[in-house]
Structure 1
């Protein structure tokens, strides 16, 4: 046999193998799988807006008595503590 004969035989065998390979792939149904992926999703915070109170010392004047100024400062301290607690609660609601 010569080289042309080997070449034709090789081509026929190659085509037959290729057809068998493609037929094997076509006969098989694709495998369908459901995969569950858990990914954290950022959610915007919907905490209520904490209004700034009217501070007790805002209405003080320079001519007011020392006793009135001290009482206003003590009242504002209580206001500030309450305001800070509301802010902490709003931040905790977002976490």
Structure 2
């Protein structure tokens, strides 16, 4: 076979092969599939607002005795520890 005869055969076969390939693509239905994608979504935190307690040392006067002032400050310290624990619990509930 020479070059010209090879080219003529190729010119006749190429369109036929192209049409067969194109026809094969058009008869196939598209494949439908469901894909589950997990994406983190921000959710607003719904916790009760932590109420600020009435502090024990807020009502102290200059004229109060040292014992009353110390007791009030110790009570306020316990109040603050409890208040901080409530705040930490509220923050932990949002995580």
Q: Same fold (TM over 0.5)?
A: yes
Map 1:8-87 to 2 at 5 A: 8-87=8-87
Scaled by the length of structure 1, what TM-score is found? 0.78
Q: 1:2-51, CA deviations, whole angstroms, 9 ceiling, x for partnerless residues?
A: 74x65454333211111000001111111111122223322222222212
Q: 1:44-91, CA deviations, whole angstroms, 9 ceiling, x for partnerless residues?
A: 222222122221112223232111101211221221122122112211
CA RMSD across the alignment: 2.1
- Cα distance in 2 for residues equivalent to 1:67 and 1:20: 102
For residue 38 of structure 1, give the secondary structure of its aligned residue in structure 2.
coil
Gaps of 5+ in 2: none
For residue 84 of structure 2, give the secondary structure of its aligned residue in structure 1.
helix
Scaled by the length of structure 2, what TM-score is found? 0.78
Gaps of 5+ in 1: none
